[in-house]
Amino acid sequence: MSANADIVIRLASAGDIPALARVWHDGWHQGHAHLSPDIAAGRPFDFFLPRIETTLPDCVVATVNDEIVGFAGWEGDGIGQVFVLPVWHGKGVAPLVLADAEQKLKEQGHTRIWLQCQVGNLRARRFYEKHNWHVAREVDVTIGTIEGRKPQLVWRMEKDL
């Protein structure tokens, strides 16, 4: 698990669903559970499994030795997910999936893209800012849980391509 590992970026496929759900669950809980324990309680693994399938047409995965260790998904001009297995944090996975998603959005003709980062998630905000994203504003949104949608405050971050 060194930073020199051969990380391969490719498009996601249907066979990736269980591994992608695991990455999304584990990565989301690592970065967000301490900020929103009530929301985290409503986001067990089974919550992520059916949702990841909707991301597949617009999703890239990072693999190491054929194991999925991270992914990025987008819709329209927005990046909806960038998650990495916690054991792979800081090993160069996230910049690669983010850059690939950004490139795909650029190829689709988008000149400005956006994403949402939970207010308080300073690690993620610093990561995005390091990659030339900026906070455009704070936005009240809702986030899904098994009990329904719950309010959350996010930084809407933007980047010109």
Domains and CATH numbers, the chain: 7-160 (3.40.630.30)
What pLDDT shows up at residue 2?
46
Judged against a pLDDT cut of 90, whether residue 1 lies above it is answered with: no
Instruction: Report the alpha-carbon distance of residue 52 to residue 49 in Å, rounded.
Output: 6
* Structure letter (DSSP) for residue 44: -
Lowest-confidence pick of 5-9, 46-50, 114-118: 5-9
Judged against a pLDDT cut of 90, whether residue 4 lies above it is answered with: no
Q: Where are the alpha helices (DSSP H) in the chain?
A: 17-32, 37-41, 45-52, 93-107, 122-130
Average pLDDT, the chain: 95
Digit-coded pLDDT (tens) for 65-110? 999 999 999 999 999 999 999 999 999 999 999 999 999 999 999 9
Mean pLDDT across 46-51: 94
Instruction: Report the alpha-carbon distance of residue 106 to residue 113 in Å, rounded.
Output: 9
Beta-ladder partners of 149: 144
Residues recorded for the chain? 161
Judged against a pLDDT cut of 90, whether residue 6 lies above it is answered with: yes
Longest dimension (CA), the chain: 42
The pTM of the full predicted model, rounded to 2 decimals, is: 0.94
